[in-house]
Amino acid sequence: MRLSLVHKVKNKFIFTPANLLRRTRQYIVAIALLGLIAGSCTPGKKAVDFKLTDRDGKTVTMDSLKEKVVVLVFSYAYCSVRCPVVTARLYSLDLALEAQKDVVYLHVSVDPEMDTAERRRHYFELYRLDAEKDRRWMFVAGEKDELEKLWKFYGVTASRVEVKEIPEGYYMEYTQKMAVIDKQGFIRYETDYNYSEDEVVKKIKELI
C-alpha cells in the first residue's frame, strides 16, 4: 500500500516516509556541511550487551536479538529534523529488503529523560509505521548509565541544547551512527547516515 505524502495530526502536517525519501539527500548534504555526521568505524567487534526496555515495557537485550540482523541507530522521540531522515532511510532499506522478517530496526534513545514509553510509541505513529503490528520496529530507552554504555561503545555523544524558538523547547545534539549487527551479535557494518543504500542492502542480504 502506498503511503500518503503528508499525514495530518491535530492540525499539524507530519511528513511520512514516502515524502521524506525525496528530501533525504538534501538533509544529508546539509548535515554534512554542518559537520554533524560521524565517521565510519571498522566493523568486526562483538556488539556490547545492554538491558533496556521497548515502548511496551518489554526488556530488550543484545542476547534477545540473537538470530536477527539488527540495524541499530540513535534517535529521540521529540526529534524533528535529523530523525525523520533516519526513519525515512530505514523505511527505504526495508522496502528494498522486502520487509525481511529476520531484520529488526532498533532505535536507541539519546534522550532518556524525555523518551517515555508513550512518546516512543507516538514516534512511529508520526511516520505511519505500525510498530504495534510490525514488531521489527523497536525504540528502546532506560537508565542513563545503561544508555551511556551503548553511546560510549559506538562513539556517540549526546547533549541537550535549549532553544525557546522551537515547539519542543530544546533539541539533542548527538553523533550520527548506524551499525548492522549479524545474527551472532557481531558488528558487520558501521557508518554515519551518509551511507550507500545499495551497499547496506547488499551487506544485510549477506547476513540474512
**Quick one: pLDDT at residue 166?**
80
Nine-digit cell at 168?
519542543
Residue 173: strand, helix, or coil: strand
For 17, list phi and psi in degrees, rounded to 5: -50, -40
Cα atoms in the 13 Å half-sphere on the side-chain side of 177: 27
**Quick one: pLDDT at residue 125?**
82
**Quick one: pLDDT at residue 134?**
87
Q: What is the torsional sign of CA 169, 174, 176, 178?
A: negative
Determine the Cα–Cα distance for residues 84 and 80; give it in Å rounded to an integer.
7
**Quick one: pLDDT at residue 198?**
94
**Quick one: pLDDT at residue 150?**
94
**Quick one: pLDDT at residue 167?**
78
Give the residue from 123, 141, 177 showing the smallest Cα distance to 54.
141
- Beta strands (DSSP E) in the chain are 6-9, 12-15, 51-53, 59-61, 69-75, 103-109, 137-140, 158-162, 170-174, 178-181, 187-191
**Quick one: pLDDT at residue 42?**
55
Domain 6-207 is of which CATH architecture? 3-Layer(aba) Sandwich (3.40)
Nine-digit cell at 170?
530544546
Distances, alpha carbon 158 to alpha carbons 68, 79, 109, 175, in Å: 27, 13, 10, 7
Digit-by-digit pLDDT tens for the chain (208 residues) are 333 333 334 444 344 555 444 444 444 444 443 334 444 445 689 999 999 999 889 999 999 999 999 999 999 998 877 788 888 889 999 999 999 999 999 999 999 999 999 999 888 888 778 877 888 999 999 999 999 999 999 999 999 989 888 878 888 999 989 999 999 999 999 988 788 999 999 999 999 9
